[in-house]
Amino acid sequence: MATPNIAEDTKEGVGEVQDLFTIETSDEELVRTIEKKRQSATKDFEDLRTEGLRNERYWAKDQLQGIDLRWYNSRIIQNRIYFGVETMVPIITSKPAEPVISIANDEEEESEKSRKFVNSLQKVLLDKYYDEDYPQQELFEMVARHLLLFKVGIPKIIWYEELDDFVVEFVHPHKIIISPDGHYNNDVWTMQYLEKSVKELVKEFPEKENVLLQKLFPNVSASMDQYGDTPVGFWEYSPEDGKYVVWKMRDVILQKKLNPYIKWTDGKEFDKENNHFDYPKKPLMFLNSQTLGRHIWDDTTPVSQAIPLQDGINLMQRIITDTSRDQGILVGAMELIDKAELYKYTGGPNEKLAVTGSDPTKALYRLPPKELQSFIQDNLIHLELAMDNVMGMHSTSRGEKSTSPTLGQDQMSQERDFGRIDGIVRGVERVAAEVYNWEIQIMAVKYKEKHFQKILGEKRGKEFYNEFQEALKKGLKIVVKPGSTLPTDKRSQRDEAIELAKAGKMSDPDFFERMDYPNPKKMAQNLWLQENAPEELYPELEKQIETKREKDAAAMQAQMTAQAAP
Q: Which residue has the higher pLDDT, 492 or 209?
A: 209
Report the predicted TM-score, pTM, of the whole model to 2 decimal places.
0.78
Q: Are 209 and 202 in contact (CB under 8 A)?
A: yes
CA 187 to CA 355: how far, in whole Å? 83
Q: What is the pLDDT of residue 20?
A: 57
Cα dihedral value 421, 423, 426, 430, nearest 10: -130
Q: Which of 19-28, 210-219, 271-280, 364-373 has the lowest mean pLDDT?
A: 19-28
The answer, yes or no, to whether residue 558 has pLDDT greater than 80, is no
Average pLDDT for 487-499:
62
Tens of pLDDT, residue by residue over 200-253, are 998 999 998 888 888 888 877 767 777 788 899 999 999 999 999 999 999 999
Tens of pLDDT, residue by residue over 313-334, are 999 999 999 898 888 888 888 8
CA 20 to CA 50: how far, in whole Å? 32
CA 436 to CA 242: how far, in whole Å? 18
What is the percent of the chain with per-residue pLDDT over 90, rounded to a whole number? 41
Q: Which residue has the higher pLDDT, 549 or 197?
A: 197
CA 121 to CA 101: how far, in whole Å? 8
The string of DSSP codes covering 253-303 is EEEEEE-TTS-B-TTS-B-TTT-SSSS---SB--B--S--SSSSS-S--HH
Q: Are 91 and 486 in contact (CB under 8 A)?
A: yes
- Count of positions (residues) in the chain: 566
Average pLDDT, the chain: 83
CA-closest candidate to residue 270, choices 63, 445, 85: 445
CA 450 to CA 329: how far, in whole Å? 81
Average pLDDT for 264-278:
91
Strand partners, 162: none
Q: How far is CA 198 from CA 210, 215, 220, 229, in A?
A: 11, 12, 15, 6
CA 415 to CA 429: how far, in whole Å? 19
Q: Are 418 and 474 in contact (CB under 8 A)?
A: no
Q: What is the pLDDT of residue 431?
A: 93
Q: Are 158 and 313 in contact (CB under 8 A)?
A: no
In the sheet that 190-197 helps form, which strands lie side by side, from edge to edge?
Answer: 176-178, 190-197, 231-238, 244-249, 252-258
